[in-house]
Amino acid sequence: MNDLTQLVADTRATLARIAADFTPAVFASSLAAEDMVLTDLILKAQLDIGIFSLETGRLHPETLAMLDRVKDTYGYEIALYRPQTEAVDAYVAQNGLNAFYDSVDMRRECCRIRKVEPLGRALAGNRAWVTGQRRAQSATRTELHVEEDDAAHGMTKFNPLADWSEQDVWNYIRDNNVPYNALHDQGYPSIGCAPCTRAIEPGEDVRAGRWWWENPDSKECGLHLVDGKLIRIKSVAA
């Protein structure tokens, strides 16, 4: 059994355990490569794990196109959670449409409105949530565990791809003909909102294109932060 085969087997086992022991559970998909791997594994196994995405209002057209590709490929419609219109309008009126370029605080407030608050609604009533985070993605994720206690949301958080490398992700996608975001072929290994994501240069960190104007240590949107710190409260032995 090669390394990828073992990783896939372990990930399938983790997802099956989530579906069996942590229902109701949901998977937060950004529609990027890692999340398409998990989408493929969840839907092909017909696991009882709901899939949702945060439609921030600032996503690339290529990202939004993935919603139809998932529906066409798997016959599954991903649930969408959007920010509150009043909160978006108030932020723009007070600070400007692109105020997130002005400071980390302004950027995090935009992320809070467009992503963190909708995430709270998406997670409400669930016992566990799943993410596509990987340990190798950035300096902010080096202590990532497959299973964690997310006390902030009152549930268990799973990162089934924590041990996967970038190459593992792409080998799985190619081996299994998994649909993926066209931006990945244009130099975007990590994809977020359009004004906050750029293509990277050869040799750059895979998340260098996210909030590229900031220090690498601040590059989280808030989905995995509490009081400015990563939600890395404690791992749970699998």
Catalytic residues: 221
Give dist(CA 2, CA 24) in Å, integer.
33
First to last CA, the chain: 21
Contact 114, 124 (CB under 8 A): no
Cβ–Cβ under 8 Å, residues 68 and 103: no
- Tokens coding 18: 């989530």
Q: What's 212's DSSP letter?
A: T
* Amino acid type, 78: I
HSE-CB of 69 using CA atoms within 13 angstroms: 17
Do β-strands 50-54 and 25-28 pair in parallel, antiparallel, or remain unpaired? parallel
Residue with tokens 């997670």: 123
Q: For residue 37, give both structure tokens.
A: 């791997």
